[in-house]
Amino acid sequence: MKAANLDNQNKTLLRKLVVVALVMFAFGYAMVPLYKKICEVTGVYDLIKPDEIVNTQIDKSRTVVMEFDANTRSQVGWELVPVEVRMNVHPGELVHATFRLTNPTDTIFDAQAIPSYGPQHAAQYVKKLECFCFTQQKINAHETRDFSVVFVIDPSLPIDVGTVTLSYTMFEIEGTRSTVDSTVEVGFRAFKS
């Protein structure tokens, strides 16, 4: 009687602990959306949203060197380069920068650019109004296209930062690749039906 009772108690505890383990496994996955949300709320993860600009006064007394850099990450032979490698800008001034994408191949695909900054903490002072990195871009075969970024350097940029590097890595989105011929065929089939 007592042994059976203990057996039941043990089984109840076993079930509870298995539930704890399963909940913690789920928690690992719950950290994915949680992390995104926390980053959005705290403003760390604002890669795909335009910034709001409060102060538009231009600080003519100060010049910041902006350097631009771009890389691509894909097996297809396409490239992204900054049109201007270096610019002198004043904090508060509206800056247009251009990046040129060249796709000499037959491949069509979607791509997404992800920015990074040097020094890292300069990221929060580069306020972007418009950026090709806010959305995924459809890249056509044999296409050359200019992408633009419009931004303002926040005048509160720490005084010891004289040079800011803005670098884009453009990634090919997996599973979006097709070649010219197959799209023609798809178009043809669509036409027939």
Partner 1 sequence: MEAAHDHNHDHHEPTGIMRYVTTTNHKDIGSMYLWFSFMMFLVGGVMALVIRAELFQPGLQVVEPEFFNQMTTLHGLIMVFGAIMPAFVGFANWQIPMMIGAPDMAFPRMNNWSFWLLPPAGILLMGSLLAPGGAGGVGWTMYAPLTIQQGMGMDMMIFAIHILGMSSIMGSINIITTILNMRAPGMTMMKMPLFVWTWLITAYLLVASMPVLAGAVTMTLTDRHFGTHFFNAAGGGDPVLYQHIFWFFGHPEVYIIAIPAFGVISEVIPTFSRKPLFGYASMVYATGSIAILSFLVWAHHMYTVGMPVEAQLYYMFATMLIAIPTGVKVFNWVATMWKGSMSFETPMLFAQGFLFLFTIGGFTGIVLAVTPIDIQLHDTYYVVAHFHYVMVAGALFAAFAGVYYWLPKWIGKMYDERLGKIHFWLSLTFFNVTFFVQHFLGLAGMPRRIPDYALQFADWNMVSSIGAFGFGLSQVFFLYVLLKAIRSGEKAPEMPWEGATTLEWTHLPTPAPYHSFETPPDLRS
Q: Which is nearer to partner 1, 1 or 175 (CB)?
A: 175
Three-state SS letters, 4-69: HHHHHHHHHHHHHHHHHHHHHHHHHHHHHHHHHHHHHHHCCCCCCCCCCCCCCCCCCCCCEEEEEE
Contact indicator for 85, 100 with CB cutoff of 8 Å = no
Which spans of this chain sit near partner 1 (rule: CB under 8 A)? 6, 9-10, 13-14, 17-18, 20-22, 24-29, 31-32, 35, 42, 44-45, 73, 112, 114, 120-121, 169, 171-175
Provide CB contacts within 8 A for 167, sequence distance 6+. Answer: 68, 69, 70, 71, 115, 116, 117, 118
Closest distance of CB 13 from partner 1, Å:
5
For residue 181, give the DSSP letter. H
Closest distance of CB 21 from partner 1, Å:
5
Q: Which is nearer to partner 1, 4 or 28 (CB)?
A: 28
Q: Which is nearer to partner 1, 12 or 56 (CB)?
A: 12
Q: Which is nearer to partner 1, 24 or 85 (CB)?
A: 24
Q: How many CB atoms lie under 10 A from the CB of residue 172?
A: 19
Q: Which is nearer to partner 1, 106 or 171 (CB)?
A: 171
Q: What string of DSSP letters covers 165-179?
A: EEEEEEEEPTT--EE
Closest distance of CB 23 from partner 1, Å:
8
Closest distance of CB 188 from partner 1, Å:
28
